[in-house]
Each structure stands twice: as structure tokens, then as C-alpha cells.
């Protein structure tokens, strides 16, 4: 009875090892095939286009707000500067465009690294 239990646990351990080895080999083959590289490159390409368009919109909005900030509204003897009201919005838009600059830089670096990895592995 005890011998059967030992043999059964060894069989299960060997089976687990074989499954683990099979998973590792399949992961290595998938990473060498370039399928994931192509998917990643396409995803980065779309992300870069989205980030660039968002950056263009935010910088345009920043320019419009800057023009509106310089305007004043005068009624009779009182005048109100519109810029005072739009200053917080302008700060938010500027911070957002700064964040997008960092994001765009990160995406470009990822694309360069992915391209270099693909060129290095395709030689062999």
C-alpha cells in the first residue's frame, strides 16, 4: 500500500515536470516565432497615434485658452478678466500635455527596443 502511494506520487511529480517542461518549450517557441512581436508593434503603433492626436488636441486647446485668457470683459465701469477664470483650466491642460510628452517618449522607446530585438533575433 505504501509502495503504491510512493509510485503514484512519483508518477504525478514526473507528470507535473513534463507539463512544466512542455509549457516552457512552447513559451520559448512562441517568443521566437515573432507573433507576439508583431502584435506588440501594432499595438504600440496605435497607441502612438492616439497619444499624438491627444497631444495635438491638448496643445490646440492650450493655445485657445491662452488667447481667451488675455481677453477682458467690460460692462460699464466694471471689467472682469476672463483669464483669471481660465487659469486653472489652462494649468490642467498644460500638465496633461506634459504627461502626454512623457507617454509619447515611452512609446517611441518601446518601439525602438522592439524593433532592435526583432532585428537581432531575425539574424539567427
pLDDT at 118: 66
Top mean-pLDDT range of 3-7, 70-74, 120-124:
70-74
What is the C-alpha separation between 38 and 30, in angstroms, rounded? 12
For 99, which DSSP code? H
Average pLDDT over residues 56-71: 91
pLDDT at 121: 64
HSE of 43, CA atoms in CB hemisphere, 13 A: 8
Average pLDDT over residues 93-105: 97
39 burial level (CB within 10 Å; 0-12, 13-18, 19+): exposed
The domains of the chain are located at: 35-122
pTM of the model: 0.69
pLDDT in tens, 12-30: 677 788 888 888 899 988 8
- What 3-state class would DSSP assign to 124? coil
pLDDT band at 81 (very low <50, low <70, confident <90, very high): confident
Residue 102 or 21, more confident: 102
Average pLDDT over residues 49-59: 97
Q: Does position 1 have pLDDT exceeding 80, yes or no?
A: no
User: Cell numbers of 7, please?
Assistant: 509510485
Residues 4, 5, 6, 12: is their CA dihedral positive or negative?
positive
Amino acid at each position: 500500500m505504501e509502495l503504491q502511494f510512493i509510485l503514484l506520487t512519483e508518477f504525478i511529480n514526473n507528470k507535473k515536470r513534463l507539463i512544466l517542461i512542455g509549457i516552457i518549450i512552447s513559451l520559448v517557441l512562441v517568443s521566437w516565432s515573432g507573433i507576439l512581436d508583431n502584435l506588440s508593434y501594432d499595438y504600440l503603433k496605435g497607441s502612438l497615434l492616439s497619444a499624438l492626436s491627444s497631444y495635438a488636441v491638448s496643445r490646440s486647446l492650450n493655445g485657445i485658452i491662452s488667447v481667451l485668457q488675455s481677453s477682458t470683459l467690460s460692462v460699464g465701469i466694471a471689467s472682469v478678466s476672463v483669464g483669471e477664470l481660465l487659469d486653472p483650466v489652462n494649468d490642467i491642460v498644460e500638465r496633461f500635455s506634459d504627461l502626454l510628452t512623457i507617454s509619447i517618449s515611452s512609446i517611441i522607446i518601446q518601439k525602438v527596443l522592439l524593433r532592435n530585438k526583432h532585428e537581432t533575433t531575425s539574424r539567427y
